[in-house]
Structure 1
Amino acid sequence: MPLLEISIVPVGTNTPSFSSDVVDAVRLIENRGLKYQVTPTSTVIEGEIPELMGVAQEIHQRTMEGGPSRVITHMTIDERADKEVGIQQQVDTVHQSLR
């Protein structure tokens, strides 16, 4: 299943913190029923490409509507054609390799 890594950076706000924007994004992801994992610097979402692009667009737009002068959204899509892999499989593979 394709993975989308997304991070948002609101610019031009009165605070350097934007955890409330991340909370809003996670609620949106949960409401869509998508599997996700929050990291310290981004959120990884598992789903089909159309739903990933849709949720990314909505996260970006909602953040802009929150009042910053500018929003920078970074996205990376990871999709494999040779086999089905998801968030948990990729994490498990790394942990198994560390043993």
Structure 2
Amino acid sequence: MSVLMEIAMFPTDVGESKSRYVAEVLKVIKDSGFEYQLTPMATIIEADNIKELTDLIPKMYEALEKMGVGRVYSVVKFDIRPGKKDRLKQKVKSVEKRLNIG
């Protein structure tokens, strides 16, 4: 099974720039060992099951909490597909192939 989770998580009470906080959340993702892809609007993480990813969410929040933030905004989406692997890369390759760029 392949589960992709797209997540955006950042504080809303710290001013305009969020990169310092997003970097701390990204450290948690990186330390998890899961494949991930940072995008300008969110981060996409791939795991073998939903539980692995849902267990990661509180850890991401705790990293922000340790930074002293008072309010956190988060949006999470899942794409679940049994019988597949490596979709973080394969989905992009499939589209690029159809565009003759991959």
Q: TM-score range by the shorter chain?
A: 0.7 to 0.9
Deviation larger for 54-63 or 35-44: 54-63
Is the Cα contact below 8 Å between 1:60 and 1:73 reproduced in 2?
A: no
- The separation in 2 between residues aligned to 1:74 and 1:31, in whole angstroms, is 21
**Aligned residue runs from structure 1 range 1-99, under 5 A:** 1-13=2-14, 15-47=15-47, 48-81=49-82, 83-85=83-85, 86-99=87-100
User: Taking structure 2 as the reference length, what is the TM-score of the superposition?
Assistant: 0.85
3-state SS, counterpart of residue 59 of structure 1: helix
- The separation in 1 between residues aligned to 2:10 and 2:31, in whole angstroms, is 22
Shift of 1:23: 1.1
- The separation in 2 between residues aligned to 1:56 and 1:91, in whole angstroms, is 25
Runs of 4+ in 1 over 4 A off after TM superposition: none
Q: How many residues are treated as equivalent by the alignment?
A: 97
Give unmatched runs, 5+ long, in structure 1: none
Give the % identical residues: 29
- The separation in 1 between residues aligned to 2:13 and 2:21, in whole angstroms, is 14
Matched letter for residue 27 of structure 1: K
Shift of 1:5: 0.3
Compute the RMSD of aligned alpha carbons.
1.4
Matched letter for residue 78 of structure 2: I
User: Taking structure 1 as the reference length, what is the TM-score of the superposition?
Assistant: 0.87
